[in-house]
Amino acid sequence: MWMLLAWLAGAAPAPLSQLSRVSVGGREHVRLQDWARLQGFRGHWLNSRDFRLTNSSARLEFTVNSQRMIVNGISVFLTAPVLLQSAAPLIALADLQTTVHPLLWPTRRQGVKTPLICIDAGHGGRDTGNLEGKRLEKDLTLSLARELAAQLRKAGYKAFLTRSWDTSLELDTRPEIARKRGAHLFVSLHFNAAGNREASGAEVYCLTPPYAASTNARGEGAGTGPLPGNRQNDANLLLAYHLQRSMVSRLKMEDRGVRRARWAVLRQATMPAVLVEAGFMSNPDDSKKLYSSAWRKQLAGSLVEGIKSYQRLIAPAT
Ligand SMILES: [Zn+2]
């Protein structure tokens, strides 16, 4: 709770233009210690690779040569790794702008009294999604979507589904349905599968910022310019973070982090949009849970709480 209160109180950050730049590999970086001093954080090394920054309301951890950052206990992937130069950790300027600042200093938006949330049950019809034995991802996403819509309505939101039945729906039609019905948020629901049966846990995707590489793209995709969905970059990330945080902290799911990808359903979204991967059908422990309706109820509950946290942060100050 302390973090949330502090976040709500959050003053504006000092402008990044005050920091001196270091160019590495054609990309502008700043020294993390310089940024920390400017924004009132204290920094120290936890070991030879991990660097921690703290102030009264936030704790950030960075790892040299890694894109994984930890923000108040939750993993978030940067678009470029933190580097080490003359014993000083460097962060890409773009990552401060597109990831660190939007999470620490959320922008308040024009509020709506009763937000309308579009829930997208991944796959459907001839697109089964992942298959594990007799289990089809498209059926699980639909039952979770129905449960989430019911719980959102109980919590005072309005909600609708992109598909309410086992029907085929093109990927780019989904954000289009959300736009036509005037949705304020778009949440696409999926379940993971991997060859490695040990892989487990939750991850939430939001759209990769322009000219940045996606989390899983091994540096590819950096040539892609702005997409319509990038207009909501800051809100996309904030929503993804609070959904991930809620699943990890409430349900003790393994934290696979907030990630970036240019998924088709996120590219054209005209409202804040995320894609949730709520566990692995291929993992014995995850699947036992997610095949049970009691667990999916809890999962939906955690997503409702994540949406509430997001809404509290973006609501205009009173
Ligand atoms: Zn899927």
Residue with tokens 């829930």: 119
Homologous superfamily of domain range 2-104: Copper amine oxidase-like, N-terminal domain (3.30.457.10)
Ligand 1 midpoint to CA 193 (Å): 9
pLDDT for the residue 216: 79
Furthest-apart CA pair in the chain: how many Å? 58
Average pLDDT over residues 265-284: 97
The domain ranges of the chain are 2-104, 116-314
pLDDT tens for residues 157-198?
999 999 999 999 999 999 999 999 999 999 999 999 999 999
Select the CATH number that applies to the domain covering 116-314 from these four: 3.40.250.10, 3.40.630.40, 1.10.580.10, 1.10.1520.10.
3.40.630.40
Distance 102 CA to ligand 1 centre (A): 27
Kindly state the DSSP code that residue 17 receives in the 8-state scheme.
G
- Residue pLDDT, tens place only, 1-25: 445 544 544 578 999 999 999 999 8
Could you give the percent of the chain with pLDDT greater than 70? 95
pLDDT digits (tens, 9 = 90+) for 210-261: 999 999 766 667 788 999 999 999 999 999 999 999 999 999 999 999 999 9
Lowest-pLDDT choice from 235-239, 263-267, 299-303, 314-318: 314-318
Query: Which range among 108-112, 131-135, 227-231 shows the weakest confidence by mean pLDDT?
Result: 108-112
Dist. CA 110 → ligand 1 center (Å) = 32
- pLDDT score for 253: 98
67-90: pLDDT as tens digits:
999 999 999 999 999 999 999 999
Q: What is the pLDDT of residue 299?
A: 98
Task: Please give the distance, rounded to the nearest whole angstrom, from the Cα atom of residue 36 to the centre of ligand 1.
Answer: 39
Tokens of 64: 């040299």
Structure tokens at 247: 């699943």
pTM over cut 0.85: yes
The pLDDT score that the predictor gives to residue 127 is 97
Instruction: Please report, rounded to a whole number, the percentage of residues in the chain having pLDDT higher than 90.
Output: 88
Residues with CB under 5 A from ligand 1 (ion): 122, 129, 190
Token pair for residue 123? 């796959």
Q: How far is the CA of 251 from the centre of ligand 1 (A)?
A: 21
Q: How far is CA 31 from the centre of its chain?
A: 25
Going by pLDDT thresholds of 50, 70 and 90, the confidence category of residue 288 is very high
Write down the mean pLDDT value for the chain: 93
Q: How far is the CA of 167 from the centre of ligand 1 (A)?
A: 15
**Which SS3 state, helix, strand or coil, does residue 134 take?**
coil
Q: What is the pLDDT of residue 224?
A: 87
pLDDT at 2: 47
CA 311 to ligand 1 centroid distance, Å: 26
For ligand 1, the distance from its centroid to the CA atom of residue 205, given in whole angstroms, is 12
74: which strand partners?
Answer: 71
- Quickly list DSSP for 41-69: -EEEESSSSEEEEE-SS-EEEEEBT--EE
CA of 95 to the centre of ligand 1 (A): 27
